[in-house]
Amino acid sequence: MERRSNFGARIERFKDVTSTQDVAKELAEAGAAEGTVVVAERQDKGRGRLGRKWLSPSGGLWFSIILRPNIPANDASRLTLMAAVAIAGALRDQAGIEAHIKWPNDVLVNGKKVCGILTEGGVRGHVLEYVAIGIGIDVNNNVDDLPSELLVPATTLKDEAGQELDLSELLNCCLRSLETEYKDLHEFNLILSRWRMLSAVIDQRVSVSEQMKSVEGKAIDIDETGALLVADDNGTIHKILTGDLKIL
C-alpha cells in the first residue's frame, strides 16, 4: 500500500514572524506532527548558522518543517545534508535550474548562494525528539538587498532563471522532494551518493575555518557523519565537522 504523504498536511502560514524556526519549535514542543510546516512572507529575526542574521524580506521562500526522525542527536547533521539534496533536487525538477551543494548547507546556482539551511533540534536523552529544519530560498526578492559579506556571492532564483517563480508551487515541490529524501534517511549511503553527485566542493581547492583553526587543501569527500575530508598540501587528511568553507 502506498504511504500517504504527510509533509505539508498541516501548513501554518504567516505574514510576519520573528523566525519560522521559533514558531516551528513551539509547535513541535506542543506535539505537532511530523511534516508540519511553518511558512512566512517575512521574518523580522530570521537566523542563519553560527548565530548569523538571515535577511527575509517578502518575495523569498522562508519555511521550517518539523521532523521526528528518532535518531541519535549526534546524527543531526544527516538531516541538513538530506535537506540540501532535497532542495537542490527540487530546484532542478521544478525550475530546470542547475543547483549544486556547498558543504555543509548551502545550495548554489552558478556558483552563487540561493538557499541556506538551518537544523535546530529538541533532544531527549541522546535522541532527537524533533528537529525544525529551516529553509530560506531567495526567490523573487530583490538581489540588491542581499548581504554582500558572504563567503560566496548571493543571488536569487529570479535573477538566475530570468523570471519570477511561483512560491506555492516551489514550496510544494520542496516538500515532495524532502519527503522522498527523508524516506532514505536510514539508508544514508543513498543520500550521501546523491550529495556527492550534486556537490560543488568535492575535488575543489577549498579553505575551511573552524573556530580558531583554518585548513586549506583539496576537498576529497564527505563521510557518513557529514564531516568534510580535506587533504592539505602535505597529504594530511583533515576531518572537518563544522565551519565556513570558501571555494578557492
Q: Which residues bind ligand BTN (CB under 6 A)?
A: 19-21, 43, 46-49, 52, 54, 56, 62-64, 105-106, 116-118, 134-136
Q: Which CB, 8 or 46, lies closer to ligand BTN?
A: 46
Q: Which CB, 106 or 160, lies closer to ligand BTN?
A: 106
Nearest approach, Cβ of residue 17 and ligand BTN (Å)? 8
Distances (CA, A) of 64 to 98, 128, 203, 244: 23, 17, 32, 23
Distances (CA, A) of 164 to 40, 154, 169: 18, 17, 12
Nearest approach, Cβ of residue 41 and ligand BTN (Å)? 12
Q: Which CB, 56 or 94, lies closer to ligand BTN?
A: 56
Q: Which CB, 118 or 170, lies closer to ligand BTN?
A: 118
8 Å CB contact between 174 and 85: no
Nearest approach, Cβ of residue 116 and ligand BTN (Å)? 2
Nearest approach, Cβ of residue 52 and ligand BTN (Å)? 6
Nearest approach, Cβ of residue 119 and ligand BTN (Å)? 9
Residue 83: helix, strand or coil by DSSP? helix
Nearest approach, Cβ of residue 65 and ligand BTN (Å)? 10
Beta strands 61-67; 37-43: pairing state: antiparallel
Type and span of the H or E element at 116: strand 112-124
Q: Which CB, 61 or 217, lies closer to ligand BTN?
A: 61
Nearest approach, Cβ of residue 184 and ligand BTN (Å)? 23
Q: Which CB, 43 or 94, lies closer to ligand BTN?
A: 43
Q: Report the distance separating Cα 57 and Cα 204, nearest Å.
A: 33
| Nearest in space to 244 (alpha carbons), one of 215, 220, 221 | 215
What lies within 8 Å, CB to CB, of 176 at 6+ separation is 5, 7, 90
Q: Which residue is nearest to ligand BTN (CB)?
A: 116
Q: Which CB, 18 or 180, lies closer to ligand BTN?
A: 18
What lies within 8 Å, CB to CB, of 11 at 6+ separation is 36, 37, 38, 39
* Count of Cβ atoms closer than 10 Å to residue 112 Cβ: 18
